């Protein structure tokens, strides 16, 4: 099955069509969201000069590991672990992004006895797959935005499968914010 979407680029550029060929072996939309969110996070980290790696197995709610060489603080080579999610269905208000997080992930991220601090990163994307990326010779635009939150020390919850967490919209996952997080960790502080 082939799906084509017509769209226009920047002002003065020609209209183009994007075609996706789907077969039985194609990635699911959830696979695409995961890969897209990892690419978004890796792009931010690359510009911030922070190395990113991926654990061989994700059984502890850790998708990506960040490490900054030296760091210039009291902690040499600060590290950060992250659970990364992607959604086109987040409830976005003027102050926060609401995201339903599975209990297992919530419990793994709220722990206080971790050697390496952890954060949740939620990448919000447009509804239409063809709107996630736009590119030309002048720019590569990745839509929409990622947000981060530390759940360390949050209270437990019972009898439900998910908990809605509220990521402040001021916590955009940007080069400046990631650099600040790593600097705080390097000073022995929380993210």
**Widest Cα–Cα separation across the chain:** 56
pLDDT score recorded for residue 6: 52
Residues of the chain with pLDDT under 50: 1, 8-10, 14, 16-17
Cα of 32 vs its chain's centroid, Å: 13
* 169 falls within a domain: yes
Q: What is the pLDDT of residue 98?
A: 98
Q: Is residue 119 part of a domain?
A: yes
Asked if residue 11 belongs to a domain, the reply is no
pLDDT tens readout for residues 61-88: 999 999 998 767 788 899 999 999 999 9
On whether residue 9 sits in a domain, the answer given is: no
Give residue 19's pLDDT. 54
- The number of folded domains in the chain is 1
| For helices 29-47 and 175-186, angle between their N-to-C axes, nearest 10 degrees | 70
User: Can you give the residue range of the structural domain that contains 163?
Assistant: 27-186
CATH classification of the domain holding 45: 3.40.1350.10
The model's pTM? 0.86
Whether 18 maps to a domain, the answer reads: no
């Amino acid at each position: 099955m082939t799906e084509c979407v017509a769209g226009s680029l920047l002002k003065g550029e020609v209209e183009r069509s994007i075609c996706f060929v789907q077969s039985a072996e194609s990635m699911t939309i959830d696979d695409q969201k995961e890969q897209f969110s990892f690419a978004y996070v890796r792009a931010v980290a690359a510009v911030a000069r922070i190395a990113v790696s991926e654990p061989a197995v994700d059984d502890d709610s850790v998708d990506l590991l960040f490490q900054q060489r030296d760091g210039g603080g009291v902690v040499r080579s600060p590290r950060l672990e992250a659970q990364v999610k992607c959604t086109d269905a987040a409830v976005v208000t003027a102050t926060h992004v609401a995201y339903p997080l599975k209990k297992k992930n919530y419990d793994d991220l709220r722990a206080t006895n971790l050697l390496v601090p952890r954060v949740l990163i939620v990448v919000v994307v447009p509804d239409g797959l063809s709107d996630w990326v736009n590119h030309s010779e002048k720019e590569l635009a990745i839509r929409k935005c990622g947000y981060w939150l530390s759940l360390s020390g949050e209270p437990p919850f019972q009898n439900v499968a998910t908990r809605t967490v509220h990521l402040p919209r001021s916590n955009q996952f940007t080069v400046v914010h990631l650099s600040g997080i790593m600097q705080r960790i390097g000073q022995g502080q929380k993210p």
